[in-house]
Amino acid sequence: VTVERDEYGIIANSITSLDEDYLISDRVFEFTTVDDSLGAYNRRMYAINTQLDDKILYPISRVYKHIVPKPIRTGISNFSSNFSEIPTTVNSLLQLKFGKALNSAGRFLINSTIGLAGTIDVAKSFGLKKDPETFGDTLGYYGVYSGSYLVLPILGPTVRDTGGMFVDSAMTMPVKAFVYDKALYDTNILDQELTGPIEATINGINTRSLLSIKYGDLNSPFEYDLVKALYFNYRKLQIIK
């Protein structure tokens, strides 16, 4: 899909994830203005992530994909992402986006109840579309400089979101702790000390199984630079919308 500059209206309201096939015109898309002062480290980490994904993560996720049915994998993803409605609500309020705050609060309430603890996105059928906001978005909304582009081990690219992830996680912790305490610990289904590693492993493999894109799919010797530009512009659009 190719679209011209529209003050980010159509683009920003349409792009919900980085894996969608959007080609943004050069009057919007920025290739050369991305701060990559950590470029030497980033390129090495990108190469390491490429090997990790190619040799370990992608093969494991394909086996997992063939064993676990799509509805279950989608349910796991929905359950995990349902908690993200909490920081979305808070960050929307911080950005004075009260409509988005009501939308995300409604989604959390409906999906946590009718949607069987968030495993089914029932709210979508009520017209409440998932529209995430992060603390990184809040920082960008108030003009905080994004800082250098950064490639994290396994997780991949980020800009100002690294610290924001910890803030968003802290917002979800009380609710998540309550749910896990009632559903897992009190019933002795899972030991509390094992929750973190097991949750991270399952979510990581499950998320990877739902993505078809791979390192190298761009088939370009400039893949690092293209991914950097794609991510930077995607985050810019997410902040503006």
Q: Two tokens at 136?
A: 């990184």
Kindly give the confidence (pLDDT) of every residue in the chain, 241 residues in length, as a single tens digit, with 9 standing for 90 and above.
Answer: 344 444 444 444 555 554 444 444 444 445 557 889 999 999 999 999 999 999 999 999 999 999 999 999 999 999 999 999 999 999 999 999 999 999 999 999 999 999 999 999 999 999 999 999 999 999 989 998 888 899 999 989 987 677 789 999 999 999 998 988 877 777 777 777 888 899 999 999 999 999 988 888 888 888 999 899 888 888 888 877 7
Q: Please name which of 50, 42, 83, 45 lies closest in space to residue 217, comparing C-alpha atoms.
A: 50
Q: Two tokens at 181?
A: 């305490």
DSSP state of 183: I
C-alpha to C-alpha distance for 140 and 143, rounded to whole angstroms? 5
C-alpha to C-alpha distance for 138 and 89, rounded to whole angstroms? 12
Question: pTM for this one?
Answer: 0.80
Q: Which pLDDT score, from 0 to 100, does residue 132 have? A: 95
Residue 6: half-sphere exposure toward Cβ, Cα within 13 Å: 11
Residue 45: half-sphere exposure toward Cβ, Cα within 13 Å: 16
Q: Which pLDDT score, from 0 to 100, does residue 31 have? A: 57
Q: Which pLDDT score, from 0 to 100, does residue 233 have? A: 84
C-alpha to C-alpha distance for 188 and 169, rounded to whole angstroms? 25
Q: Two tokens at 26?
A: 């050069």
